[in-house]
């Protein structure tokens, strides 16, 4: 038993470093013909600031809502960064197509109008009232 330790356990390999992308909203600035949103992306120990903007005309025409601006820009930056390394000091424009996609993905459920017939009941879907049975 010389030179070895009975029952010694070999060292475990180091766990891989997990790099999680997080994006923080820093604020906005309205100027000229657009509204600019500042965002900070953090990946591991790196962090970089980005600007994502939406044309004021999109808000004026109802194609985008002011309260949705930060989320629209967050989603845009998340797509742009993907698995890429952070570079910072970049500016991205939210396009018309991206506004249409955002709107369709965030549409409220359709309400039934008075002219639509009620949904047919499925036989056997009614539960007996309490106390009976």
Q: Which residues contact 66 (CB under 8 A, 6 or more apart)?
A: 59
Long-range contacts of 97-104 (CB under 8 A, 24+ apart): 98/72, 99/54, 99/58, 99/63, 99/64, 99/72, 100/63, 102/64, 102/68, 102/72, 102/75, 103/63, 103/64
The answer to the question of residue 88 being in a domain is yes
pLDDT one digit per residue (tens) for the chain, 133 residues: 555 555 666 666 665 555 688 999 999 999 899 999 999 999 888 999 999 999 999 999 999 999 999 999 999 999 999 867 788 789 999 999 999 999 999 887 777 766 666 666 666 555 555 555 5
The answer to the question of residue 84 being in a domain is yes
Average pLDDT of the residues of the chain: 82
pTM: 0.67
The answer to the question of residue 2 being in a domain is no
The answer to the question of residue 126 being in a domain is no
The answer to the question of residue 85 being in a domain is yes
The answer to the question of residue 119 being in a domain is no
Q: Which domain holds residue 28?
A: 21-103
**Under 8 Å between Cβ of 33 and 22:** no
The answer to the question of residue 52 being in a domain is yes
* pLDDT on residue 82: 84
The answer to the question of residue 31 being in a domain is yes
Summarised one tens digit per residue, pLDDT across range 89-120 is 899 999 999 999 999 998 877 777 666 666 66
* pLDDT on residue 129: 58
For the chain, the distance separating the N- and C-terminal CA atoms, rounded to the nearest angstrom, is: 77
Indicate the number of domains in the chain.
1
Cα–Cα distance, 112 to 72 (Å, whole number): 28
Cα–Cα distance, 49 to 29 (Å, whole number): 14
């Amino acid at each position: 038993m010389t030179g070895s330790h009975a029952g010694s356990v070999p060292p475990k390999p180091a766990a891989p470093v997990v790099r999680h992308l997080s994006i923080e909203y820093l604020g906005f600035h309205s100027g000229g013909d657009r509204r600019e949103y500042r965002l900070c992306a953090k990946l591991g120990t790196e962090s970089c600031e980005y600007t994502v903007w939406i044309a004021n005309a999109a808000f004026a025409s109802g194609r985008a809502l002011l309260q949705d601006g930060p989320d629209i820009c967050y989603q845009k930056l998340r797509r742009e960064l993907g698995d890429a390394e952070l570079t910072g000091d970049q500016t991205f424009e939210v396009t018309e197509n991206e506004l249409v996609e955002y709107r369709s993905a965030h549409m409220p459920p359709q309400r039934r109008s008075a002219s639509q017939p009620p949904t047919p009941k499925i036989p056997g879907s009614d539960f007996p009232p309490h106390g009976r049975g």
